[in-house]
Amino acid sequence: MLRKNNVDICVAIVFGVCFFFLYSHFGLRLAQGIYFDYLNLAFDFDPPYFIDYLVGKLPTRVNYKHPLSMVFRPFADLFLLTGLPPKAAAVLVMALFGALTVALVYGFTRMARFGRPEAIAATLFFGCSSTTLFTSIIVESYGWANFSIVLVWFLFVWSAVTKQTCTKSKLMTAVLVTGVTITNVMHAIVAELFSQMRSGNFKRAVVRTVVFGLVIGLGLLVMLAVLQPQELWNTIAHPIQTAKEIYWLRTKEANSSIADLLLTFFGYSFFSPAFAKVALSPDVVMIDFRSFTYASLEQVAVIAWLVFALIGVVLGFKNRDFRVVATPLLVVVAFNVLLHLDYQFRGSVYIYAAHLHFPIFALGMGAAPWVSAQRCAVRLSYVGLLLALATAALVMNTQRASEFVVMFDTLAYPPDAAAIRP
């Protein structure tokens, strides 16, 4: 048993190292341009604010959406000690957590009873997927969101398999996932509710989950009291002003349709289409993934993935063991889709893909535990198809990334344009 675990630990380390170098390659090239100096140049991301969190001047107020982003600053300090420029150090933090996310995904698949070949193929696909790649090279909150969400579900399946409660670890992870992006507390709450429901007492499970949620809130306040005491006091001391600020964070302008939403989360999140150009003002254009613009062979890969994932969901729910994992994941996906039907900003949807990328991936891999118990021919066919999807994702997404990282060597718009000025 120990030897078996050692092999998996080694495989996870190899994944982490390989993907760290892949993400670093693209991220460091992107850092040579001006992309991290301006807002909304791509995907409605706001890199300058998160550059400040990591290597610049910390904000003078509590960020209600991402209150604990500064906890990643020590990692940037370590890279700065090596003599790297600030932007490069910030990028390497994102690449590091992207790589750690991939390693965690491998751990999740093995804990969820994927055979090793199936787990390796699935992890390769995840690491090469569009959302994982782009959030690992862009300095923003979404790479950390991807990491903390995977950590929540890794602990969930670990607890289910080992019959251990992992209360302290789950609480710390819940505070992290909430502090990275406040709405992602839903992952921790849903995971805890379904963990507690294993006892068979629904009422007690609900009560314990409510208590768990209150402790998350308390933990978040304690962290802010340590990291931003004056800013937290200003927030508490002026409740009316705080309420106004939170209200005005409400998204505005037209929303995307349910079809665009689903296509983005289930399709573009895994296979990057050609870049779309979105006019933010008469003189500023933002790039985004908004339309089904793939070459013919690329369309085959995307459709193959959607069919593969649909079959995976069905077989995952037919498997009694994996159903325990799939059910809360489906709840989280449904909740996110409903949330983002309303919570959008000027039609940008890809920006939110990291919030449900892993749950969709895990549901789509639902056939793996069943396949792992089948004869060799079935397993080889499944792994072969998954490796083909991973290869297609690698080719398509690295091609888009190669285009992306050289787009911003110079600024094509007035530097004082309101749409891009920090």
pLDDT for 253 equals 64
Evaluate whether residue 421 is within a structural domain.
no
Evaluate whether residue 75 is within a structural domain.
yes
pLDDT for 247 equals 57
CA 3 – CA 103 distance, rounded (Å)? 18
Evaluate whether residue 410 is within a structural domain.
no
Evaluate whether residue 122 is within a structural domain.
yes
pLDDT for 150 equals 98
Residues of the chain with pLDDT under 70: 1-4, 242-254
Evaluate whether residue 417 is within a structural domain.
no
Evaluate whether residue 415 is within a structural domain.
no
pLDDT for 234 equals 82
Which residue is it, tokens 């301006």? 38
Which residue is it, tokens 């782009």? 134
pLDDT for 1 equals 44
pLDDT for 369 equals 96
Evaluate whether residue 411 is within a structural domain.
no
pLDDT for 2 equals 44
Tokens of 214: 């209150």
CA 99 – CA 24 distance, rounded (Å)? 10
CA 387 – CA 334 distance, rounded (Å)? 28
Please tell me the total count of domains within the chain.
1
pLDDT for 91 equals 98
pLDDT for 62 equals 84
pTM: 0.95
Evaluate whether residue 7 is within a structural domain.
yes
Residue 387's domain spans which residues? 2-404
What value, to the nearest 5°, has the Cα angle with vertex 12 and ends 124 and 45?
60
